[in-house]
Each structure stands twice: as structure tokens, then as C-alpha cells.
Structure 1
Amino acid sequence: MDGTPEAPAGRLAGRVALVTGAAQGIGLGIALRLAREGAAVALNVHKEDARAAEARQQVQALGAACEVFVADVSRIAPTRQLVADVAARLGRLDILVNNAGIERHAGVLEVTEADFDAVIATNLKGPFFLAQAFAAHVQDAGGGGRIINISSVHEDLPFPHFAPYCASKGGLRMLMRTMALELAPLGITVNNVSPGAIRTPINEALLQDAAKVAALQAQIPVGRMGEPSDVAGAVAFLASADASYITGTSIIVDGGLLWNYSEQ
């Protein structure tokens, strides 16, 4: 067994979920889990290519309605249009998963303005304005909703050579808390899921170095790196009625790494 629980059948039946950055990795894992739980899924991708087509096929193979939407979430106008397009093509929109994110490796003395702006725009500005457009849609539709941001343990844990990334995730934590207070009267909950070390394409270089993987896993109390399905399970819970009384919080999905980690 891989430790992945069986999804309750139909827990999200009749709901429509938008997942950003959904062509691979954690985003695709989330899309697949929400589809298994009965949701129709809108896959946001940066470009419509073979990888996006394969992601859609995987979701549709589960029997879920699925559409692909191309949009650069680092820019405000496309985020507003994305929400409108999803609601128009899939009939409604109930769940927003802000998953798209980027990182740049550079020391504090080497970070460029372009890299800093790119990370903040994708990881912090994008989620805010998508949430804003989503909340306006929910208000107009007269129903509640769920906003779930994929953050990181680095919303709290410093990470040398990734200062803009850490700043974006720390900002996302406070953004989530503040939005949770303001949007609660609209029936919208806002939460973060904050992963630790997850096996995804963004970690490909690390995964090819057995010594580094072993050193990392030695710092994870459960003894392994996480899988996209581990993150997806937490997202599915927060998207469901089971989490209707949870808002303004971060769920840490890291196998205990946050409390046992030190830079080597």
C-alpha cells in the first residue's frame, strides 16, 4: 500500500473546481483527486500542449467533466477572464485551487529584479487576484465556495538562496488569513495547504542525486518524500463539506520535516 486513502465517492459531486498550474506535479495530482471525488475540473495551464492534453485525458478517464483553460495567472486581466470562462463553459465555479508557482535559485546578492518580480507575480499577486475574481463570482451567484492555496513549509521555514520564494509563501499565509476574515460572510472559506518535500518535476535534479535524496529523507520523520497524492488528499478535504468550519489556517503536509529540518 502507498498510504493513499480511498476517496469517498461523490463527496464533491455537482461541484466545479479550477486548479491552476494543473498540467503536471501537484496540480495534476489535485485535479485527479477532485475528479475522483465527483467534481468537474477546469485545468489551468500556461500553454495548451501535449502535456496539457494528457492531463485532460487522465481526468476524463475518471469519468469527470474536464476542460483546459490557458491563462498566465501572473497577470490580472487573464485571471479575471479565466474565472469568467470557467463559469461559462462548466456552468458554475465552486472551488479555486491556487497551485501555480515558480521559484528561482539565487543568493540574496545575486537576485535580479526580473526574477523577484516573476516569483511574486506568480506566487502571490496571481492567487490574490484570482481569489478576488472568484469571490466576486460567488457573490454574484449567491453561493458559498472554497479557496485553497498551495503554499509551502517555506511560508514559515527560511530557505537560503530562495528569498523571493520564501517571501511569496510567507505573504501568501498572511493573505490567506486576511481573506478568510473578509470572505467568511460570503460563505467562502480560505485555507493553505503547505507541502514539504514532494516528488514533482520541479525537484527532478534532486531526485537524480541518490545521496541528496537520502540526506533529505533522513530529516523527514516518516522516512520518505511526499507524493502529489498526499497534498491532493488535504485539498480534497478542505474542498468538502467536512471542512466547512475550517478557515484561515494552513495544513502542513510534510511528514514532520518542518520540526526536524536543518540546512546541511
Structure 2
Amino acid sequence: MKKTLKLLALAAALSIAGAAAAIAETVKVGIAAEPYPPFTSPDANGNWEGWEIEFMKAVCAAAKLDCVVTPVAWDGIIPALNAKKIDMIVGSMSITEERLKTIDFSDKYYNTPTGIIGAKGEDIQPTPEGLAGKTLGVQVSTVHQAYATKHFAPAGVEIKEYQTQDEANQDLAAGRLDAVQADAIALGAFLESDQGKACCDYKGDVAQDVEVLGPGVGVGLRKGETELKDKINAAIKAIREDGTYEAFSKEYFDFDIYGG
């Protein structure tokens, strides 16, 4: 009888352990607290939506992770990751050599051009010469700030920094800026809004600088966490191969956002 009870107890313990193992690992996914359509923005109820939220859900499902969206102010998102307040960043963060000094990245999950927008009717070219003497708005702590500082500031372009992309767009619409630089897709979303249609148009892509702009956008991860990185890379590959990535992307874009 005692032997039977011991076997039953062991079986119960193994069952509990198995159930615990089946529970997905909970991961806090940091996104920028500031809206960045069409990638991330809150709906009327405060729930986050957008292409990057769909990407996050697909990757987490493929990696069998229980992911919790955790908004963090953009300029503090890397410190939050390294302080373990979040476990990874899914926030249109470009993979750059500078960032790789402090964090790690997954494989690329999208890559789009960097562009310039300005007031309609204004002859503005997306070059140092074409912006000389103008005021250019960029979001702080982004590759666009770094690019503008490197390429445009030496040519006499005044660089004005903003905490959010929306603030830069609003100042452009109000005539307080001559131009704004950002991801071409994010700028496209603004230009499709009523305000954007009324004020501004796309002036073109800036010249590529892989050292500053990076080869694309990746999931930000803490250095040394190779197990999570492997899971994320495998999940990105899986959703690309099984058609999931293409399916949800078609809801937002009429081109391949993955890029070359």
C-alpha cells in the first residue's frame, strides 16, 4: 500500500512538473510609449495595435512565449531592458554598431528607407545641400537623429530634436519646421492623415549610410541571453516560411516590408 501511495505521489509530482513546463514563459515586451503608426498605437480603449503588435504576437506564438506589451518612454527603453524592467524590445529599433555596444539584436525583421517630408510647394531635396539653411525635425535617440547630426548639421542644417515623432510632425504642419526625417513608412502614415495631406509631401529618401542607419530593424535583447535570442530568431524564420508574416503584413502594406 505504501509503495502504491509513493508511486501515486511521484506520478502526481511529475504531472504537476509537466504542466508547469507546458506553461509559456512570460516575457515583457517593451514598445515605445509614444504612438508610432502604423507600427504601434493605442486604440480608443488603450489597447495597443499595429503592424509591429501583429509581428510580436506571431513571434511569441511561434516561440511559445507569453508576451506582455509593456510601454516605455523611447529614450529610456534601452536602460529599461538592461535593468530587466523589460525582456526585449519590439519597437522599430534599427540594428546599429553603436547600439550593439550595449545590447544584442535578433535577426532583421524589417527594413525600409529613411525619408524626408516638407511643406507642399517647397523645393526641398533630401540632401545636405538641399536642406542647407533649413530646420529639420528628428526624434531624439533615433538613428535619424544620428544621421542628421552626421550628414546635415555640418552643411548648415539646424537640427531640432523631439521626444516623439508626432511632435515633430505637428511642428512641421504648423510651419515651425522646414522638414522632418524619419522612417519612410511612418512618414507615409502621417501624409495619409487629413493633416498630412493638407500640409506636406514626401521629398525623397536620404542617401544610405549602413553604419548609422543599420541593415534593418531587429528585436532588442540583453547581451548574453542566447536562449531567448535563439527562440526569437527561430520564430522569425518560422513565420516568414509558413506565410504568417506575409499574411498580416498585407493588412498594412502593399509591398514587402521585409526589404532587401
Common fold: TM-score over 0.5? no
Say which one has the larger Rg: 2
TM-score (normalised: structure 2): 0.32
Instruction: Select the structure with the greater relative contact order (CA < 8 A; seq sep ≥ 6).
Output: 2
